Every structure is written in C-alpha cells, then in structure tokens.
C-alpha cells in the first residue's frame, strides 16, 4: 500500500476549498482596515468600513464562483492562478467603485483616497497568501508529502506527451509509476520513453500489462491513471475502464485530439452520453456570465466618464457638416446575426451594406472632423451603447462590413469562426497593429489570425491586458483612415 503521507490533504480537499474562501474574504476585510488605519478613518462597528469590507468580500466570492477560482489548482500554473485572482479582484473592485460613484458623495473626506488605496492593498494581500501557499505545497511535495502516484496507459506519442508534461510540472506532485500497455507488455522501457518522461527511477523496468495496472490500482498503489491511447482503441479503453471501476484510483482519459485544430474544446453531457465540441462556443456558461459582467461594469463606468466628450464631439459634427450625428452600420454579430453598430458620423455619405466601400488614405468622403475622429478612434465611442445592449463586447474581433464577410469567408480558412463570440470595440488584432484598411488578402489573414488566437485562448486577464494596451497604444494608428 502507498504511504499515508502521499495523500494527507486529499481527504480534506473540500474543507481546504472552504478555508481558501474564508481566507480570501478575511483578507479583503483586512485590506479595508489597513486603508482605514492609514487614513485615520473611524473603524467602529457598525460603520461604513465594515459595510465596504463585507460587501467587497461577497462580490469577490460571487465573481470567483463564476470563474471557478476555488477548483483544484494542483495541475494549474501559479501565474494562471494569479491572473485569475487579479481578474476577479479587478471586477469586484470595479463593481464596488460603480456603487460608490452612484451612491456615495465622492467629495466626502477620505472616500477617493480609500478607493485608490484599497485596490492595490487588496490585490497584494490576495496574491501574497496564494503565493505563500504554493511555495509551501511545493516544498512538502518535494519531500514526498501530498503527492499523487500516476500510471500512464499507452506507449505512443500521446503517452509520451502526457509523461513529459507531468515530469516537467513537479510542483503538481504527480509521481510517474510507469507505463502500461497490453500490446507492449514485458518490453523494455526504452531510453526514448525515459528521456521523454524525464525520470530514471521508474519502479517497473519494463512496460506493464493491464492486469498489473488493475492489481496496483486495486491495492491502492496508484492515485490516478492517465489513459493515453489513440481514438481507435475505444474498445480497449472501455474494457479497461470497467476493470478500473473496482479501484479508488482517479482515471483520466486523455483525448487523442491533437490532429484537430481545436476551438475551445468543451464537454457536454447528453443525458449520460459525453460529447466533446471541437468547434463550439468558446465563451459560454460561467465564462460568458463573467465576460458579460465585465462588459456591463466597464461600459457603465466608461460611459459616465466620456459623456461630456461625446456631447462635444456631437456638437462638432453637427456644426461642421450636414447630416446626422450618429451613423448605424450593418454588421454581422455573434453567430453571424445582423446587428447595427453605432458610430459617430465621420463621412459625408452614409454607405452601408453591399455598397460599402472601405475608407482609404486621403478619402474625399471623410469630413475634417471625421478624419480626426477616425485617426484617434473616437468615432467608435458610441459602441459602448452596443455593449450595454448586449450586441457587442468591449474586447473581441472587430465587426467587418457585410460585403467584406461575404468576400473573405471563402478565401480565408476559419474566417467565420471569429463570429463565435460577440464583436468588440477593440481586440487582439487591433493592439498588434492590424487595424484600418485591409487592401490585401494578407492583411485580412493576419487580422483573422489574431482574432482566432484570442478566441482560442480567451481569459478575463487577457481582456484586461488588451483594454490596458488599447488605452496606451490602440487609439492612434497610422493605418486608420
């Protein structure tokens, strides 16, 4: 039987998740009291300080639940967990800030200073304890505590990929016990396999059989089994799963899907029948709710800040050229459905639909005020209304003209995949310089390439990074005409 030290935390995993929630909540309250002490604010109970701390904790917990922050992070990287914490805290703080702006007099003493100091102090304490916990777990796992003994079923390329990932991620505490494959049983464990997995102390010098694997699993020698067989081996996989059902080992089936170009692969339970989407909705479920919350909070804050500049822009447009202030362009939105995108009018014409001609350098249709608006992207500001309406997102692929969609969908592979999420005011392509005129196929290909990269690896942290980049380098671009 395996040593008890290997699983000293496993029986209490749910309790540790609860403890993590409690510590996060307490630290947010602690951050409030630190700020209160710095600014000599009254901390008597009951009081506004207590309300801010408890309210901030509850909002953080709600957002953290949406983003699965309190799931198992054994196989997750520290930087990914930190990004998740930052994303949750930024959204929670913005929500608290919005409430403060709406219901609290900002001219009151210490209110502004409190909000400005609470954010960084709260972020520091939340990240610090997570980093400390990770370092502690890494230390005890290196000493053999809280580890997991893993077996790999298969000896092909997929099995070697799994072994390589496990061995490189020693902080996860997974210890590779060996390879098992009935069709390769009793063969010597080759140097290639050893090097790919990065271990020399494998208990079995040869590849074990399924009988040996099941015996070890039932005896408690194995914590988990990674089945890494090709898709054509479904019968062998099914039979092995039936045999392993009598053990307490956790069994993972690693899908042999590397041959496909995955688009946020997700699982689906069809009344007990699992299915994996190879091309599906990249941002749905809790992620969709989280992104929508981000859009509502940020667009509300931004619109409150830009209301006056928008009024001045509207006056400038009305006084310098004939025509309406706003221009609604027909575009394709999520799932290819038509939407009308709001913009400040920057041209003397109102072209739309199939007769749309993209603006070029020195275009005579652009008004003097319109040239400035387009160059600085200020003509896009009304699209925050589209965001509040739920038709667009702050970050996402830029919506193209209908005529461009019909032209390029047959020329660029995967072009319409960019419509699997809501179009955005800014995006990964835009902050990397792929905006403005797309007069060549190559330019459009690069834009689509960046859009697909964003969709495939979306995260709330990446959204915040793109928004930050847009503020400093995304508004003014020489390619915007």
Please say whether the dihedral angle defined by the alpha carbons of residues 233, 235, 241 and 244, taken in this order, is positive or negative: negative
Greatest Cα pair distance, the chain, in angstroms, is 86
For residues 344 and 378, is the Cβ–Cβ distance under 8 A?
yes
For residues 344 and 327, is the Cβ–Cβ distance under 8 A?
yes
For residues 60 and 24, is the Cβ–Cβ distance under 8 A?
yes
For residues 420 and 263, is the Cβ–Cβ distance under 8 A?
yes
d(CA 394, CA 382): 12
420 φ, ψ (degrees, to nearest 5):
-80, -10
d(CA 89, CA 25): 11
Give the CA distances from residue 333 to residues 337, 412, 420, in Å, rounded to whole numbers and listed in that order. Answer: 5, 18, 9
Number of C-beta neighbours around residue 255 at 10 A:
16
Number of C-beta neighbours around residue 113 at 10 A:
13
b/e 299-318 (16+ beta carbons within 10 angstroms → b) = bbbbbeeeeeebeebbebbe
Number of C-beta neighbours around residue 258 at 10 A:
11
SS3 content of the chain, % helix, strand, coil (to 5): 55, 10, 30
Quote the tokens at residue 303: 């619109």
d(CA 126, CA 140): 22
For residues 291 and 392, is the Cβ–Cβ distance under 8 A?
no
Quote the tokens at residue 323: 């025509």
Nearest one of 127, 121, 26, 13 to 78, comparing CA atoms: 127
Is 179 strand, coil or helix?
strand
What burial class does residue 445 get, using C-beta atoms within 10 Å of its C-beta: 0-12 exposed, 13-18 middle, 19+ buried? Answer: middle
d(CA 348, CA 379): 14
366 φ, ψ (degrees, to nearest 5):
-80, 130
**Which residue do the tokens 């209301």 mark?**
307
Quote the tokens at residue 378: 């200020």
pLDDT truncated to tens, each residue of the chain (481 aa)? Answer: 344 444 443 443 456 778 888 899 999 989 988 888 887 776 665 556 777 788 888 989 888 877 777 766 555 677 778 888 888 898 888 888 888 777 766 555 677 778 888 889 999 999 998 888 888 877 766 666 667 788 899 888 888 888 877 776 666 677 788 889 888 776 665 544 554 444 444 444 567 888 888 888 888 888 889 998 887 888 888 899 888 888 878 888 887 765 555 555 555 555 555 566 555 566 766 678 788 888 998 898 899 889 999 999 999 988 888 888 888 888 888 877 888 999 988 886 655 555 555 555 656 678 888 888 888 888 889 999 999 988 999 999 998 877 778 788 878 887 888 888 899 999 998 888 877 666 678 888 889 889 988 887 788 888 988 998 888 765 555 555 4
Please say whether the dihedral angle defined by the alpha carbons of residues 447, 449, 455 and 459, taken in this order, is positive or negative: negative
């Amino acid at each position: 039987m395996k040593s008890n030290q290997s699983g000293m935390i496993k029986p209490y995993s749910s309790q540790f998740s609860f403890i993590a929630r409690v510590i996060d909540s307490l630290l947010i309250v602690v951050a409030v009291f630190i700020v209160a002490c710095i600014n000599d604010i009254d901390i008597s109970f009951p009081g506004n300080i207590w309300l801010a701390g408890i309210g901030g904790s509850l909002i953080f917990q709600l957002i953290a639940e949406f983003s699965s922050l309190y799931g198992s992070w054994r196989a997750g990287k520290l930087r990914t967990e930190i990004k998740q914490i930052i994303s949750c805290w930024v959204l929670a703080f913005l929500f608290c800030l919005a409430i403060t702006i709406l219901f609290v007099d900002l001219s009151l003493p210490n209110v502004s200073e409190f909000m400005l100091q609470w954010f960084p102090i709260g972020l520091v304490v939340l990240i610090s304890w997570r980093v400390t916990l990770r370092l502690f777990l890494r230390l005890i796992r290196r000493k053999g505590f809280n580890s997991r003994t893993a077996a790999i079923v298969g000896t092909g390329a997929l099995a070697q990929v799994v072994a390589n990932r496990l061995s490189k991620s020693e902080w996860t505490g997974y210890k590779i016990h060996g390879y098992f494959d009935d069709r390769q049983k009793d063969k010597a464990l080759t140097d290639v396999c050893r090097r790919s997995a990065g271990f020399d102390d494998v208990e079995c010098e040869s590849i074990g059989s399924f009988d040996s694997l099941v015996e070890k699993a039932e005896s408690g020698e194995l914590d988990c089994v990674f089945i890494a067989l090709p898709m054509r081996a479904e019968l062998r996989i099914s039979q092995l799963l039936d045999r392993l059902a009598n053990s307490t080992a956790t069994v993972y089936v690693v899908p042999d899907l590397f041959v496909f170009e995955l688009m946020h692969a997700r699982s689906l339970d069809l009344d007990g029948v699992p299915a994996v989407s190879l091309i599906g909705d990249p941002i749905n479920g809790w992620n969709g709710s989280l992104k929508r919350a981000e859009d509502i909070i940020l667009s509300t804050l931004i619109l409150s800040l830009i209301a006056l500049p928008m009024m001045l822009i509207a006056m400038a447009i009305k006084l310098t050229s004939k025509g309406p202030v706003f221009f609604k362009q027909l575009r394709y939105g999520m799932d290819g459905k038509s939407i009308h995108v709001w913009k400040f009018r920057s041209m003397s014409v109102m072209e739309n639909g199939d007769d749309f001609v993209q603006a070029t350098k020195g275009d005579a249709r652009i008004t003097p005020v319109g040239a400035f608006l387009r160059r600085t992207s200020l003509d896009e500001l009304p699209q925050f209304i589209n965001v509040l309406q739920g038709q667009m997102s702050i970050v996402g692929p830029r919506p193209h003209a209908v005529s461009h969609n019909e032209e390029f969908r047959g020329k660029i592979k995967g072009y319409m995949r960019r419509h699997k999420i809501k179009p955005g005011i800014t995006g990964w392509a835009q902050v990397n310089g792929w905006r403005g005129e797309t007069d060549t196929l190559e330019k459009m290909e690069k834009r689509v390439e960046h859009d697909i990269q964003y969709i495939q690896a979306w995260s709330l942290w990446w959204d915040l990074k793109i928004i930050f980049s847009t503020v400093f380098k995304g508004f003014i671009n020489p390619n915007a005409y």
